[in-house]
Chain A
Amino acid sequence: MTVFLTIVIIALFGITLWQMSKILKLSQLKNADDSQVANDKDNNMHGKLMLGFVIFIYLLTIYCFVQYRSFFLPESASEHGVDYDLLMFISMVLIMFVQIITQGLLHYFAYKYRGKKENKALFFADNDKLEFIWTIIPVIVLAGLIIYGLFTWTDIMNIDEEEGDPLIVELYAYQFDWRARYSGEDNVLGKANVRFIEGINTLGIDASDNYGKDDKVTNELHLPVNRKVIFKMRSQDVLHSAYMPFFRAQMNVVPGMITEFSYTPTKTTEEMRNSEFMVEKVATINKIRREKSKKLVAAGDEALETYEFDYYLLCNKICGASHYNMQMKIVVESEEDYQEWLKTQQTFGEQLSAQASN
């Protein structure tokens, strides 16, 4: 149906244009001016349309900001994310301010100075003062932004394993899934290389390295709230990118090297689910899903599951055919819940001996 409608719309649109061009041609026969150079009538009309166009841009902007306000991510669930959000807010305000002024001027001038036969343009080729002003203003504003941005950047990227008691977790990517490896009691990850991959040792952990014996490989990422976590990232095959939008965190995962990112989660999954923003958002999504389900059921398919919010990690670097569905669930919970969950996971050593006894 949609295809049909789309084709009809395109066809109608084509016919409209065809008819318009015919009308235009007919009207031109009477009009002596067929030079195809804009005359005063054209200037008048398109000058006014330019004014209309800037109003369109303003309305589109307002529409998007109002209609799509639920698209902005909720308050950051990580410590550094608060600074990130502030910097983003400042930059947004700034660019929207410049956008509104410059688009306004550009289109208003196009309207105001639309050509007329009797008008004379002003020969105005240079003005050092003006140019100096609009060079120096961006210099100052951008310098401010750069300095602010760089301080935040250094804070985020300065990963110090000695400071505090960070949790060390490996994120392991392959086509098309993620694994997490917890460093165990010793908080040190065992050595690993793809050359050790064999059987159940899917992450290539070096069995001869004692640090690796207590490592735990999981397919969910659980994090204790308010404890700094340092991710060491490894890829088995191609480039991937570990993107955790709710934590304002992203780092590429590169085969042949270990990349790092670190943050402190500050909101548990539970807290995020119960936040005003998320309750509303999930309600909207479930409404959409219920409507879709109706259609699906009518067509004899299964209904969609009701959605419940969970943090997720997704792949954000093109990595192959199933790139679009390479995700891992993230659970942020209290220290106790985290420890409890961790206990239920087998260590690498246990896995090896279980296999040997089989």
Chain B
Amino acid sequence: MSAIAHADDHAHDDHGHHHKETFITKYIFSQDHKMISKQYLITGLIMGIIGIAMSLLFRMQLAWPDHKFTIYEIFLGKFGTDGVMDPSIYLALVTIHGTIMVFFVLTAGLSGTFSNLLIPLQIGARDMASGFLNMISYWLFFISSVIMVLSLFAEAGPASAGWTIYPPLSALPQAIGGSGMGMTLWLVSMAIFIASSLLGSLNYVVTVINLRTKGMSMTRMPLTIWAFFVTAIIGIVSFPVLLSAALLLIMDRSFGTSFYLSDIYIQGEVLHNQGGSPVLFEHLFWFLGHPEVYIVLLPALGITSEIIATNARKPIFGYRAMVASILAIAFLSTIVWGHHMFISGMNPFLGSVFTFTTLLIAIPSAVKAFNYITTLWKGNLQLNPAMLFSIGLVSTFITGGLTGIILGDSTLDINVHDTYFVVAHFHLVMGISALYGLFAGVYHWFPKMFGKMMNKNLGYVHFWVTAIGAYGVFFPMHFIGMVGLPRRYYTNSAFPYFDDLSDTNVLITVFALITAAAQLVFLYNFIVSMFYGKKAVQNPWKSNTLEWTTPVEHIHGNWPGAIPHVYRWPYDYSKTKENGEYVIEGQDFVSQITPLQEGEEELHH
């Protein structure tokens, strides 16, 4: 199949005639990137529902610690007997919430969906470089999701050492119940997830490098593709390190090695382990863990760049600077991991180095934020739901990013480390921002994915409730962090000093419940529009990029005839000739496949 997909353009007229697709090859073991992207999206959304539901459970526990909720018993079984949440299951909930949201929703659900959908469509390729590997990549992701969900049913509870699974807590079942079978399944699931992610990333990189259509030079690629491309590279560089970290942890747990363990006395017994260091694990984990933040965020920023330019009817401001910032962020992201470890016991001198590199990364981030704002300036903004989510992303990216200046400073980190200040910071800057990117992408490319339009009014309701709710949840959270309230506390009632925070905790939880309810609007809109939505036109947003030159109905190979050639960059919105008229009369956009018009200059961006 893939051989056909990449055959010479001219031999493509009879494409699609010589293989019949069955239900299984079309919907289940599909090698078509468009179908795989839908599979990623739907799996990601299902995992997202689980992840968000978990957050509601533990938010309720935090807001009303003395209260009995039957709902705990329904969902948590023996860990919620009589409606009282067990402290260890609280930790399991925060652990699995983190894992699912970071890896399964925002890495696979976001990057997996849109890299698969957009890379071939926007660079003018018939499919991914290897459709088969792409299929394997999805199915590995599916298996890892299933194992992660299964781990929730482990007898002694799912993994509960925090999503960062620092040993020795994660290595010793004696230390916490969840570190038995639950943690084993967690590690197996993640190992498979990493394999899936690597196969996907290699495919993306190869596709972007090799399969661009004629005229699609690197500097004519949409910023989405730049973001996906660079994200894939960061993934290839850093995910293997997590795999090694996980493998060594598996060895420590099951085969008696001492990579991370030393001098431990637990449950009346001295363990034989000698010479290992948990700090080593922290280094290995964050060597992935920090780039992971950008693996999550860069695709969202790429999607936003594209959507803001299209809906502002203006070129993205500073295309070269945007590409340069993506590259700078990618490079710096691999040398800042130590800022998670200022007070881990590593040499304080290293702390100085990491403070330096960390604050450096604020510079390209600031450039991106300013460029977005300038793109809005003097635009003709079409405020579609996707555009609102994109503007929302810039807003939360700024709010969350700024507090990073405090946390990235080793000195200031001392007193806010691991408090709710951190929780507020990273939820805004990577959680909410990346989710906004995901939503923006879904609203914008839904017509491309399903050939239908999503209901815009439901989209507006979804956006405004979410936007207010997200700030309502995470803005006050900074303040309870400033008190010195540690995260991952089952209840704050053990310290009377925190008694006056309980009202704020209730406020946050109420906002969280409302915001989660608003996501149901999205789900409703998503499912209903898929079947009963208004049929989409070919180019509903009047966009320049190549995906809108394909027919609405999906066909294998994307374009019915030859692959179109590209003659310009993707951001010629509202471009005028010297006489002040649009380049193409009566139309404020010029598709990438339109050759230069008479009297038009190509600007070198």
Q: Which of B525-577 contact A (CB under 8 A)?
A: 533-534, 537, 540-541, 571, 573-576
Set of chain A residues within 8 Å of B279, measured between Cβ atoms: 254, 257
B317 interface contact, C-beta 8 A = yes
Contact of A250 with B343 in the complex, beta carbons under 8 Å: yes
User: What string of 1s and 0s marks CB contacts (under 8 Å) between A186-219 and chain B?
Assistant: 0000000111010000001000000000000000
A251 interface contact, C-beta 8 A = yes
Selected from A6, A47, A88, A154, the residue in CB contact (under 8 A) with B383 is A47
Selected from B67, B409, B541, the residue in CB contact (under 8 A) with A145 is B409
User: What string of 1s and 0s marks CB contacts (under 8 Å) between B237-275 and chain A?
Assistant: 000000000000000000000000111111000100001
Selected from B263, B362, B410, the residue in CB contact (under 8 A) with A256 is B263
B513 interface contact, C-beta 8 A = yes
Q: How far in angstroms is the closest Cβ of chain A from B401?
A: 9
| C-alpha spacing A28/B366, complex, angstroms | 41
| C-alpha spacing A182/B121, complex, angstroms | 68
B29 interface contact, C-beta 8 A = no
B456 interface contact, C-beta 8 A = yes
Q: Which of A14, A88, A94, A323 has the most chain B CB within a 10 Å cutoff?
A: A323
Contact of B352 with A120 in the complex, beta carbons under 8 Å: no
| C-alpha spacing A309/B379, complex, angstroms | 57
Contact of A121 with B313 in the complex, beta carbons under 8 Å: yes
B168 interface contact, C-beta 8 A = yes
Contact of A312 with B517 in the complex, beta carbons under 8 Å: no
B132 interface contact, C-beta 8 A = no
Q: How far in angstroms is the closest Cβ of chain B from A150?
A: 5
Selected from A68, A174, A317, A321, the residue in CB contact (under 8 A) with B176 is A321
Contact of B314 with A121 in the complex, beta carbons under 8 Å: yes
A105 interface contact, C-beta 8 A = yes
Q: How many residues of B contact A (CB 8 A)?
A: 147
Contact of A125 with B379 in the complex, beta carbons under 8 Å: no
Q: How far in angstroms is the closest Cβ of chain B from A221?
A: 16
Contact of A154 with B501 in the complex, beta carbons under 8 Å: no
A24 interface contact, C-beta 8 A = yes
User: What string of 1s and 0s marks CB contacts (under 8 Å) between A43-77 and chain B?
Assistant: 10011011001001100110010001011110000
Q: Which of B293-325 contact A (CB under 8 A)?
A: 312-321
| C-alpha spacing A322/B90, complex, angstroms | 11
Contact of B490 with A323 in the complex, beta carbons under 8 Å: yes
Q: How far in angstroms is the closest Cβ of chain B from A9?
A: 8
Q: How far in angstroms is the closest Cβ of chain A from B525?
A: 9
Contact of A60 with B482 at beta-carbon distance under 8 Å, contacts A36-B456, A38-B456, A252-B344 already known: no
Residue of B nearest to A92 (CB): B406
User: What string of 1s and 0s marks CB contacts (under 8 Å) between A293-334 and chain B?
Assistant: 000000000001001010010111111111111010000000
Q: Which of B265, B399, B467, B524 has the most chain A CB within a 10 Å cutoff?
A: B265
Contact of A324 with B491 in the complex, beta carbons under 8 Å: yes
Contact of B169 with A53 in the complex, beta carbons under 8 Å: no
Q: Which of B364-418 contact A (CB under 8 A)?
A: 366-367, 369-374, 376-384, 387-388, 391, 394-395, 398-399, 402-403, 405-406, 409-412, 414-415, 417-418
Contact of A113 with B376 in the complex, beta carbons under 8 Å: yes
Contact of A248 with B405 in the complex, beta carbons under 8 Å: no
Query: Which stretch in A160-168, A223-231, A237-245, A338-346 binds the other chain?
Result: A237-245
Set of chain B residues within 8 Å of A115, measured between Cβ atoms: 313, 379-383
A35 interface contact, C-beta 8 A = yes
A153 interface contact, C-beta 8 A = yes
Contact of B265 with A236 in the complex, beta carbons under 8 Å: yes
A119 interface contact, C-beta 8 A = yes
Contact of A37 with B382 in the complex, beta carbons under 8 Å: yes
Contact of A316 with B345 in the complex, beta carbons under 8 Å: no
Q: How many residues of A contact B (CB 8 A)?
A: 128
Set of chain B residues within 8 Å of A236, measured between Cβ atoms: 264-266
| C-alpha spacing A174/B74, complex, angstroms | 34
B219 interface contact, C-beta 8 A = no
Set of chain B residues within 8 Å of A119, measured between Cβ atoms: 380
B2 interface contact, C-beta 8 A = no
Residue of B nearest to A149 (CB): B409
Q: Which of B62-105 contact A (CB under 8 A)?
A: 64, 67, 69-71, 86-88, 91
Set of chain A residues within 8 Å of B317, measured between Cβ atoms: 124-127
A13 interface contact, C-beta 8 A = yes
Contact of B398 with A146 in the complex, beta carbons under 8 Å: no
| C-alpha spacing A56/B402, complex, angstroms | 19
B154 interface contact, C-beta 8 A = no
Contact of B501 with A71 in the complex, beta carbons under 8 Å: yes
A114 interface contact, C-beta 8 A = yes
Contact of A255 with B381 in the complex, beta carbons under 8 Å: no
Residue of B nearest to A306 (CB): B496
Q: How far in angstroms is the closest Cβ of chain B from A45?
A: 8
| C-alpha spacing A216/B154, complex, angstroms | 44
Contact of A145 with B500 in the complex, beta carbons under 8 Å: no
Selected from A94, A130, A175, A281, the residue in CB contact (under 8 A) with B500 is A281
| C-alpha spacing A93/B261, complex, angstroms | 43
Contact of A288 with B502 in the complex, beta carbons under 8 Å: yes
Contact of A110 with B384 at beta-carbon distance under 8 Å, contacts A84-B415, A95-B403 already known: no
Contact of B373 with A73 in the complex, beta carbons under 8 Å: no
User: What string of 1s and 0s marks CB contacts (under 8 Å) between B166-179 and chain A?
Assistant: 11110010011100
Given contacts A125-B316, A257-B262, A321-B88, list 6 more A-B pairs with CB under 8 A.
Answer: A3-B67, A10-B517, A46-B383, A126-B317, A239-B166, A255-B264
- 10 smallest beta-carbon distances between A and B, as pairs: A256-B262, A245-B484, A157-B348, A36-B453, A194-B265, A324-B489, A259-B345, A109-B376, A325-B494, A122-B378
Listed A/B pairs (28) with beta-carbon separation below 8 Å:
A3-B67, A35-B540, A38-B387, A47-B381, A53-B464, A60-B471, A68-B476, A68-B479, A72-B482, A87-B411, A102-B370, A115-B382, A121-B574, A123-B574, A124-B317, A126-B317, A131-B370, A146-B359, A153-B351, A154-B352, A236-B266, A238-B168, A254-B344, A284-B500, A314-B486, A320-B91, A321-B91, A324-B87
Listed in ascending order, the chain A residues whose CB lies under 8 Å from chain B are 2-3, 6, 9-10, 13-14, 17, 20-21, 24, 28, 34-38, 42-43, 46-47, 49-50, 53, 56-57, 60-61, 64, 68, 70-73, 83-84, 87-88, 91-92, 94-95, 98-99, 102-103, 105-107, 109-110, 113-116, 119-127, 130-131, 134-135, 138-139, 142, 145-146, 149-150, 152-154, 156-158, 174-175, 193-195, 197, 204, 236-239, 241, 243, 245-246, 248-252, 254-257, 259, 281, 284-285, 288-289, 304, 307, 309, 312, 314-325, 327
